[in-house]
Every structure is written in structure tokens, then in C-alpha cells.
Chains A and B, each alone.
Chain A
Amino acid sequence: MKGRPLLYTSYEADQGLLNTTSKKVMLGLFLLVLVSIPFQVIPGLKFLGQGGWLRLLSTTAIFAIGALGLNILTGLAGQVSLGHAFFMGVGAYTAVWLGGPVDGPLLGLGLPIWIWLPAAGIVAALIGVAVGPTAVRVRGLYLAIVTLGLVFIGDYLFRNWASLTGGAQVGRDFPPLEFRWWKEESPVIDFTTPSTWFGVEVSGIAKTFFLLALLAGVYTLLAKNLQRTRVGRAFMSIRDRDIAAEIMGVNEFAYKLLAFGISSFYAGIAGALLASFLTRVIPEQWNLFLSVQFIAIILIGGAGTVTGALLGSAFVVLLPRIVQNFTLWLQSLALEGEGILGAIANVFIATSQTDFGLINTMAGVGPGLSVAQLNLVLYGLLIIGFLIFEPLGLFGIWLRIRNYWKGWPFTY
């Protein structure tokens, strides 16, 4: 009996996070690769250990935390929220109020990270629960526009509360990622400058990456576990049919409020980390586009799945860099202008004022789209494309691949 796939002899085994051997092996390998990335030991993946890519991977970890939060609200509880950026902003400014320098011109209490990071989540969660009653009262599509209103009201507050946020278009510095017990002179662990850990040289960005990946891992585990509890199942029942859920004894109002709170907690943590990671942030950062990015992440990844939120984060964060590299490659082909490849590239790339092309590589050249604009258009098209053709997102594609090989060579 032992070792047979899909044969479970206890409920614990059936509900287990790693209920198959291949899942255990894959997770182990994934963690090994993750740890090895900054040390550039795996051939073919060495480029990921360089500064720029490592920064992107760190950003991925932060976005993953935010996306997990939105996934709980939208994917599990089925409440569409465009207000995620607002709660991230609340988290970031809570963090800077508690963790910012005491003697500076702006508000700050100079407290250590173990206070400001959880506080960022808690304050965001409290505000989420406070605005919840308005949001929970309205249903479905009205909710999307109410949360849209939150982003605009938040944007106005952040821009005008200059003593906290630094003011419109100016912004302020956020507390760095460093661990202190209290207000010591030098931090116990500094996650931004290079040092030696266990006899190994670790660069500053590598340490930041390790910290953020660890945090993302912890929050992934929490989100995954939430799905398997009474609360998670209540969320899903509200998503699937709210009236049926109520009849079964799920308190719709309380659980919707709870979903708002948990989602806002994640958003607050992600906001604080993002601001701290970017070091300087202007109040306009927390705008509608950030919210849309998170919607895109969970839709592209696959709504309602934790793996999907992680895949989607990696996809959305890494996409601009990949598009940029691809465009540069096309440009080099077009400029060399030889062979069929060069001719094809030339159609897409505008290299001079008179040259026609869909993409231009220099600002203000020709009518083509700049790389940044191309990225935006791709975002839009990906959201549309995934919703029309693959509603389960990247996770759905993965499921199909997995199920194909499960029965291989049979098709059933």
C-alpha cells in the first residue's frame, strides 16, 4: 500500500501541504536553487545572482506577499478590490512614522524593524476593518468602485499630509532593512551592506534577498494554511454562493470583514517592505496602477491559488526586464540589418526619426511605442488574454501539463 500515488490512509495525509513525494522533492530543489542564486553556482542561472536581477527577485518576493493578501480577498472570498494600493500605502507610512529618524524634519519615532513591520500590517488591517462596513454593505461591482474610491481618497491624503509623507512629488526616505534590539548606534544585523555570514562573503543585495524571500516564505505558509482551516473554507463558500454559505451558518458580514482585515494586513506588510526596499518613495506611488498590477498578478497566476500568486508575481515583476532585453536584442539585430532576422527586426524597431517601427528605442523618435509603453500594452493584453483564453492562469497551464504527464502515455 505504501508509496502508491493518490492513496491516502488518513485525513492528515490527504490534507497535507506536501501530500506527494514529487511535491517534497520539487520544493526542496526550489529552495536549494533559491539559496544558491546569490552565490552564482548553478550554470545557466548565474545571471540571476547579479545585482539588477537580484533586485528584481527581491521585488518579486515583496509583490508575492501583497499578491497573497489580495488572493485571500479576491481569490478566496470573491470580493473584488481595487484598493490594495491604498492599504500598501497605509502600511508604508505606518512603518515610516514608527521607524523613521526622530530628529528629522518629518514624523518619526526611530523604533526598530520588529516593531514597525508588524505594526504596518496591523494598522493597515485595522483601517481595512474600519472601512469594511461600507465595503461589505455594497456588493459585487459596486464594491469595485468603492475600493477604487479608496485609492483616490488615499492618494489625496498621502499627497497632502506632507509632515508624514514628505509631500507630493517629493516623498521621503524610509527606514532601511536592518535589525536592532532597540535604538542602538549600530544595527545587530544590517541587511543592506556586505558582510561575512558563517565565513561566506554575502553582498548587501543578497542579504536583502534572503530576508525578503524568508518573509515571503513565511507568509506563503500562512496563506496556504489559512485555506485549509475553517476560516478559509468559509471564505470559499461565500465566494461560491453567499446565500448558501449563510444558510450553512457562515456569518457573511463577519467573514467578509475578516477577509478585508487579513488582506489589508498582507498589503500593509508588503507596502512597508516595498517602501523600505526602494528607500525613497513619493506619495503618488500608491496609485491605481499598483492596484491593477496586483489584480493582474492574481489573474495571470490563477485566482484562488497560492502557487498562482507566486507565479504571477514573478511573471509581472520580471516581464518588464525581459521585454527590455528582448527589445535591445531586436534593436541590435535591426542595426546590423543583415539577413532575414535583421529584416524582421527592422519592421518592429524604429531606429531613427524617419524609420517606421512599432517600438522605438530612443525617446521621442518616430510614432512607435517606447519600451515602457510596450510593457504597459503587454500588461493589458496579458490580462485580457488570460481572462479570455486561460481563466485559471499560469497555474491552470501548469495543472494541464501535470495532468498530461500523470496519465502518460494514456490520455485519461
Chain B
Amino acid sequence: MITGLVVLAQATADGNAFAQMLVGGISFGAIYALLAMGFVIIFKATSVINFAHGALTGLGAFLVVAFATVLDFPGRFLTSFPEWAQWTANVLTAFAVAALFGVLIERVFLRPMVGEALFAVAIVTLGIDIVVRTITNDFIGTQPRPVGAPWGLNVIDLGWVIIAWSEVIQIVVTIVLLVAIAMFLRTRTGVAMRATAFDQETARAQGVNVGRVFSVAWAIGAFLAAVAGLFYSVFPRRATGVDQATAFIAFRAFPAVIIGGLDSIPGAVVGGFAVGIAESAANTYLGFEFLGNGFPGIVGYLLMMVVLLIRPYGLFGTPEIRRV
């Protein structure tokens, strides 16, 4: 509320800064939207609150580094193609491997927990988070590892607003992925996934391969987390690249999930952009002097608290029906 008033007051005073803030907020919000969407897809399909989403993000970002800069696979075999195509091929391979890791984690650690209390499963993912993050961090090392994005530090200067190429690509990719997932949910597998989300046992009785749905959900979640990890590690965000703190971005995306509602995919997108814009606004308009260091990092959580006070299941979440 107060944030909103300050934003409005400033916006009328300085239109350019407002536009700049909005661009930053939307592109950062796209990262949160990707993370929140993966989180919600995993939750809907498997009823697992995935605290390991940060670890998946860090792992995905590291895999991008490994495939794009260290291994150069399969780019090294595509010498006849331009450099950006080689890089894209490398990154897509990394995403695929990240998705495989997602499937593997579900298969090894979470399949035995099917049917257990939701809380116990959530704590298992906390354990997975620690294990995967520690091992990934050991591979990342102490120095940041650049991802070698071909668009580098280039920007488009429109006069009244400056947009980085990475932001353009990021927003386009996010929109494409949103549409792709919306379409995917209408395919046969997508319908199976929605049926599983509704009721695992009944879906199984109708012939849905629930195990396969779990695997697909985790593959999508890990894939989206890897995409978010990549975009978090390029120019306007952290130009230095992937480091040990990259995984923590997911902890800032949790409020986005809750604001939208745990089980709503459109909610995740709305929540993601809301948190992104709120953080960007706090960064632009709420000064460093009286709020201290790191305030934008908790704006999402404050927003979440407010939303929960009004709507305990988020904006689009399904209220839990309590049957006696």
C-alpha cells in the first residue's frame, strides 16, 4: 500500500525512471514467474512442496556453465554453425540434462515417500536441497563462473528507457514457455497431469500412469528452474555469472508462489511479476538510507504476509475444503 503510493507519487514526477523500473521489474518478474511456475507444476502433479527448487536452480545454472563454457558440448561438433547457434545448442543440452536430474531426484528420493504426510515430504526436499546445493557449490567453486551469453552487455537505447538484450530475450522466452505450458496442459499427457493433480488414486484407476506424470512434472520443474538460473546469471542481474549464492534466488520466488496460490499456474505467473515489480520499485524508489541494506530482498515476503492476511490461500489458490 505505502509502496504503491510512493511509486505513484514518483511516477508522476519522473516518467522515465518509472518506465525503467517497470522494465527491470518485468524482466526480474519473469525469472520469478518461471521459478514459481515450476514449483506449482511440481506441487500440483505430485503434492510435493519443493524446497529443493533453489538447488535445482543452482544445478541448472551450473550445468549451463559446464556445457556452454567448459565442455562446449555439442557446440564443438557444430563448427559450421555461427557461434550463437553453438551456444544455444549447448544451453539446450544443459537444460535437458537438468530436466533429467529432476526426474532422477524424484525417482530416487521422493517416489518412496508417495502417500506420506505432506509435511514429511516437504522436509525430505529440504534435505535434498542441502545435498544437491552443497555438491553443486563444490563444483562451482569460490569464483563466479560466467555463462558466456552471446548477447553480452548489449542494450537497446530507446531514449526514454534502456533495455538490455538479455531482458528482451528473457521476456520473449518466458512468454513462449508460458504459452507452451498452457498448450502442453491440453495435450494427452497434460490432461493426465491435471487428472493426477485432482486425485492421484482416481487418476490411476482411470489408467493414468501416475509415476510417469510425476517424472514429467519434475522434468518440467527442473527445466524451468534451469532457465531461470540462466537468466539470473546474465548481464543486468549478476553479470559475473553463476556462483554459490545463485541458488538462493528460489527463496525469493517462494512469496510469488504463495501470493498467487500454491496450486494455481496463472497465479504463479501473476505472483512472479508482482514480486518482481515490487522489488524493482523498492529498489528504485525506497532509498538505501532509512531502510538499510537488502530491503528489496524481503519486499516479496512482506507482500506475501499482506496477501495472506486478506486471502489465506493466495489470490488464485483453491481454498482447502474441510470435510468432517
Tell me the A residues contacting B by CB distance below 8 Å: 78, 80, 134, 137-142, 144-146, 148-149, 152-153, 156, 159-160, 168, 243, 247, 288, 292, 295-296, 299, 367-370, 373, 376-377, 379-384, 387-388, 391
Contact = CB atoms under 8 A, between A and B. Distances in A.
Contacts of B320: 139-140
A29 to B, nearest CB: 34
B118 A140 contact: yes
The 4 closest A-B pairs by CB, nearest first: A160-B292, A380-B130, A383-B127, A380-B131
Given A134-B305, A376-B134, 17 more contacts: A134-B308, A139-B320, A140-B118, A142-B258, A145-B254, A149-B304, A152-B298, A152-B301, A159-B292, A370-B138, A373-B137, A377-B130, A381-B131, A383-B123, A387-B123, A388-B113, A388-B124
Chain A interface, >50% SS class: helix
Nearest to B322: A243
A152 B313 contact: no
A382 B116 CA distance: 18
A314 to B, nearest CB: 20
B251 interface: yes
A78 B119 CA distance: 9
15 contacts: A80-B122, A134-B305, A134-B308, A137-B309, A138-B312, A140-B118, A142-B308, A149-B305, A160-B294, A368-B138, A380-B129, A383-B124, A384-B109, A384-B128, A384-B131
A108 B120 CA distance: 42
A16 to B, nearest CB: 31
B249 to A, nearest CB: 13
A374 B130 CA distance: 11
Interface in B78-123: 109, 112-113, 116, 118-120, 122-123
B29 interface: no
Nearest to A292: B126
Contacts of A292: 126, 130
B135 interface: yes
B120 A391 contact: yes
Contact of B134 (A168, A380, A384, A388): A380
Nearest to B258: A145
A295 B123 contact: yes
B112 A388 contact: yes
Interface in B284-324: 291-295, 297-298, 301-302, 304-305, 308-309, 312-313, 320, 322, 324
Contacts of B313: 142
A140 B127 contact: no
Contacts of B305: 134, 146, 149
A153 B298 contact: yes
Contacts of B122: 80, 141, 144
B254 A137 contact: no
Contacts of A138: 308, 312
A14 B118 CA distance: 34
B139 interface: yes
B113 A387 contact: yes
Nearest to B306: A134
Nearest to B313: A142
Contact of B126 (A243, A368, A383): A383
A384 B295 CA distance: 34
A326 to B, nearest CB: 18
A370 B141 CA distance: 12
B120 A387 contact: yes
A299 B302 CA distance: 30
A368 B118 CA distance: 34
A153 B301 contact: yes
B123 to A, nearest CB: 6
